[in-house]
Homo-oligomer: A and B are copies of this chain.
Amino acid sequence: MTKTLAFVLYPGITPLDLVGPLQVLSALARIDPSFEVVVVGRDLTPLDTDTPLKLTPSHTFDQVAEPFALIVPGGTEPTLAALADEPLLSWIRSAARTAEVVGSVCTGSLLLGAAGLLEGRPATTHWGFRDLLGRFGATPVAERWVEAGPVLTAAGVSAGLDMALHLVERLAGEQAARTVQLLVEYDPQPPLGGIDWGSTDLDFFRPHARAMLESALADHPALLARLS
């Protein structure tokens, strides 16, 4: 039986959160037809992102009830607003019940948390929102990705690429992971090197994160209070 890898689309996401792992897992599906990739959303309307690009899903939530894996991308204020999107959380909760892999990239893990899936688990997210994970009963971890049973959370935005390659190795073995890595030519050479966390000021982001949360959840005071 074909294993369905379902990417979750909702309004306003950071497209690289979704497209990084989507490209990696689509390459897996090309070399191993026991996997198929779909992008699911409430309907098939093009959705805004935090860039000028619009994204359209391939399937509706109703059409993909029991995926083998689901992967939830994140974003900035619209993702925080989605913490109050009950139909979205309800699909995530229901799909997670039977899925073997429940994944997220960036602040997508906050949606897993809001769906009640991180209780008692280590998890990660974008560095600028990491302390919010504790409000959902998770233990925040500063790693590129974190695996805890079926739940696989990645750090911010580009971390979805590393997480997805790890997932390919887990699902199809090292040789498949090497072939996929070669096909998407993932041989990273950041021009200024990696991030030097020790010498980087992260506090500048705190008021921005706070302002985004307050604006996103202005109509949901109880949830806002829980997260503050």
Contact = CB atoms under 8 A, between A and B. Distances in A.
Interface of A: 7, 14-16, 18-20, 22-23, 26, 37-39, 46, 50-59, 106, 126-127, 144, 155-159, 161-162, 165-166, 169, 174, 177-178, 181-192, 194-195, 197, 200
Interface centre among A16, A37, A192 (most CB of B within 10 A): A16
A182 B161 contact: no
B22 A38 contact: no
Contact of A186 (B165, B178, B190): B190
A123 to B, nearest CB: 15
Contact of A161 (B106, B166, B188): B188
Nearest to A155: B185
Contact of A58 (B52, B144, B187): B52
Query: For the complex formed by this chain, how many copies does it contain in all?
Result: 2
Nearest to A55: B53
Which 6 A-B pairs have CB atoms at the shortest separation, nearest pair first? A156-B185, A52-B58, A188-B188, A54-B56, A16-B23, A187-B195
Contacts of A15: 19, 22-23
A53 B197 CA distance: 34
Contacts of A156: 183-185
A174 B192 contact: yes
B144 A189 contact: yes
18 contacts: A15-B23, A19-B53, A20-B20, A22-B53, A23-B157, A26-B50, A26-B52, A46-B54, A54-B55, A159-B185, A161-B190, A162-B189, A162-B191, A165-B192, A177-B191, A186-B195, A187-B195, A188-B190
Given A26-B50, A182-B195, 17 more contacts: A15-B22, A16-B23, A18-B53, A26-B52, A39-B51, A52-B57, A52-B58, A53-B57, A55-B56, A126-B185, A127-B182, A127-B185, A158-B187, A159-B187, A165-B190, A182-B200, A185-B195
Contacts of A53: 7, 18-19, 22, 39, 55-58
A15 B16 CA distance: 9
Given A19-B15, A200-B182, A194 B190 contact: no
